[in-house]
Amino acid sequence: MPLVVLACLAYVSMALPDSVLGIVWPSMSADFHQPVGTLGLLLVFGIAAAVLSSTMTGRILTHMHVGQLLSGSTVLSALALLGYGLAPSFWAVVAATALLGLASGALDSGLNAYAASRFGPVTSPGFMPATGWAPPWGRQRSPSR
């Protein structure tokens, strides 16, 4: 049960920073004397870090339990958000964004791995086909099965 609670906290730590940066960047860019368009540079660093960590998650999970990965990634996410708040320069914000990308990629892949191993394949019909995100026919299987 504690892992389920940790998974819920991990989802919050994944979703919150994405919306926060989009809201506060116009005022942050003025504080750092950067054009608003430099948000694109932040996104490049964040996405690259997320892709790197999400592709490494399988290898990381061979060395640690998924709960440790989720805990560590949630802590990294919190540190990155603290970095946003305390950043003295634009490049510190870039570093915090990269750290947040590393945390988000590992959280996303780790949560997916946990859900797949714990709950098995998705069974339809249900909520997902109604929203258009999943096909409306029987059990879905992963390519590895």
Q: Where are the domains of the chain?
A: 2-131
Q: What is the pLDDT along the chain (145 residues), one digit of tens a residue?
A: 577 777 677 777 677 777 778 888 899 999 999 999 999 999 999 999 999 999 999 899 899 988 898 889 889 988 998 999 999 999 999 999 999 999 999 988 888 887 777 777 665 455 555 555 555 555 555 555 4
Sort 96 into a burial class: Cβ within 10 Å, 0-12 / 13-18 / 19+: buried
Separation of alpha carbons 12 and 115, rounded Å: 16
Residues counted in the chain: 145
Separation of alpha carbons 130 and 92, rounded Å: 43
